[in-house]
Amino acid sequence: MTPYSETPKGSRRPQREPSIRSPKGFNASPEETINPKSLHPRILHIAPFNTAGLPAAFVKAEQALGYESRLITFSPNEFGFEEDLCLDLPWMNGRTFRAMRNVLSSASRRSKKGLEATASSGKVPLVWKPHFLEANLIAWRERLWRPKIEEALKRLDFFSFDIYQFDGGMDFYRQGGIAKALQERGKKIVCCYFGSDLRTRGVLSALDEISEINFTVEFDHLQLHPEIHYLFFPFDPWRFQPVERNNTRLRLFHSATNRRYKGSNHIIEIGQRLEEEFEVDFVFMENTSHEQVLTAKQHSDIVIDQITNMGGVGYGISSLEALSMGIPVCTRLTPEYEAFIPDHPFVHVTPDTLYDQLVALIRDPALRLHHGRHSREWVEAHHDARNIVRHMHAMYKERGWEG
């Protein structure tokens, strides 16, 4: 996996301390770690998938700062995000399992019906409580996994790390067997939530009870857990070179893995309408590999992220990639989120305002240029993964977890 990026030539980067990273980046072994005699703890991240590259972003930033940090995932990410130590466990994401999960899983049913946890529901945090059939399916799957998990943990020397970050708030076992074993050994346990973890599934009670610090990269999660700390989504903007675009025929871009969550059907309707009324192209990509999406996105002039808040408030990695490329991004923000990030570069849209906002951007090259320049500067200021990791480790130092 590629390490945290060096600053591209010509990029406007603020002056900071020089970064230190292992020459082999993501797959660094203990022997390759910078300053092996330092007081830095060893960190292991555990995640079902490298979702949107988020778990790996934490790891690579920690490595860039001189920590020994690794990522172990249950199964490969279906969109091609990089892996470190992947167990490739069965029955995680196949078509058959998805069909069974959609029928049996209480979280899937809640998501389909829009029954997500809210601060006013009186159920904060929502706790995962499977019904009989779902519980038995999960138990069967975990019995199938157990030999492969135990062999992998021995190979990794799993219990030799100091801090364990459960990304997604997920143990290998729903009853928290691994986390409990770590607690018995005096290890430090952290959870980081993202996506709809707290909205539809809820916490795993056994893990939540022993997690010492909870983080989230989702703004609305602050209302869904009484003890959680917000982090800006960790990101490496230096992978992208911002370019001031002004194509003769403008290209509007939208991508989705779940149309309902992003309001894609309405976005597609507006995009096709604009193709008829203006000399523009509208590009829509669905359930496509990350590499293909990036290639198409970097040739776009305007990116539309989402017009609903069903799948999360505001924006995610898709927006951050476009902002880092210097591309204006249209997305929907709640009033509370806009107040939290008042200097944001987004073009705020709703289903009712999307058409007019896009028309304004199409007609005004100077407006597109303004949003594009501000976009890159804002990502560098707020989302640099190293600064986010520094903040996390400052909290660890306050607790005496590292020197």
Model pLDDT for residues 266-318, shown as the tens digit of each residue: 999 999 999 999 999 999 999 888 889 999 999 999 999 999 877 567 898 89
Host H or E run for residue 362: helix 354-363
pLDDT given for residue 242 in this prediction: 87
Q: Into how many domains does the chain fold?
A: 2
Q: Are 208 and 272 contained in the same domain?
A: no
Instruction: Evaluate whether residue 262 is within a structural domain.
Output: yes
Q: Are 190 and 292 contained in the same domain?
A: no
pTM, two decimal places: 0.82
Q: DSSP of 91-134, one letter per residue? A: SSS-HHHHHHHHHH-HHHHHHHHT----GGGT-SS-B----HHH
Q: Are 43 and 71 contained in the same domain?
A: yes
Domain hosting 66: range is 25-236+385-398
SS3 284: strand
pLDDT given for residue 18 in this prediction: 25
For residue 97, what are its two tokens? 């399992």
- Short-list 108, 97, 181, CA closest to 140: 97
Instruction: Evaluate whether residue 110 is within a structural domain.
Output: yes
Let me know how many helices (H) and strands (E) the chain has, helices first: 14, 12
Q: Are 199 and 255 contained in the same domain?
A: no
Instruction: Evaluate whether residue 19 is within a structural domain.
Output: no
Q: Are 120 and 69 contained in the same domain?
A: yes
Packed helices 264-277 and 354-363: angle between N→C axes, nearest 10 degrees: 40
pLDDT tens for each residue of 388-398: 999 999 999 99
pLDDT averaged over consecutive 10-residue blocks of the chain (403 residues)? 53 32 34 47 95 92 95 87 90 70 57 47 81 90 95 92 96 96 97 88 95 95 94 93 82 91 93 96 92 92 90 82 95 92 94 97 94 93 95 96 88
Q: Are 82 and 154 contained in the same domain?
A: yes
Q: Are 222 and 251 contained in the same domain?
A: no
Q: What is the C-alpha separation between 376 and 373, in angstroms, rounded? A: 6
CATH number of the domain where residue 298 is located: 3.40.50.2000
pLDDT given for residue 338 in this prediction: 92
Q: Are 242 and 373 contained in the same domain?
A: yes
Residues β-bridged to residue 299: none
- Short-list 90, 89, 92, 53, CA closest to 71: 53
Instruction: Evaluate whether residue 154 is within a structural domain.
Output: yes
pLDDT given for residue 1 in this prediction: 65
Instruction: Evaluate whether residue 2 is within a structural domain.
Output: no
Instruction: Evaluate whether residue 306 is within a structural domain.
Output: yes
For residue 315, what are its two tokens? 């924006």
Beta-carbon contacts of residue 283 (< 8 Å; ≥ 6 apart): 251, 252, 253, 254, 296, 300
CA dihedral 225, 231, 234, 238 (to 10 degrees): 160
Q: Are 214 and 318 contained in the same domain?
A: no
Q: Are 217 and 165 contained in the same domain?
A: yes
Q: Are 222 and 280 contained in the same domain?
A: no
Q: What is the C-alpha separation between 301 and 51, in angstroms, rounded? A: 26
Instruction: Evaluate whether residue 9 is within a structural domain.
Output: no
pLDDT given for residue 22 in this prediction: 31
Q: Are 202 and 346 contained in the same domain?
A: no
Instruction: Evaluate whether residue 317 is within a structural domain.
Output: yes
pLDDT given for residue 274 in this prediction: 97
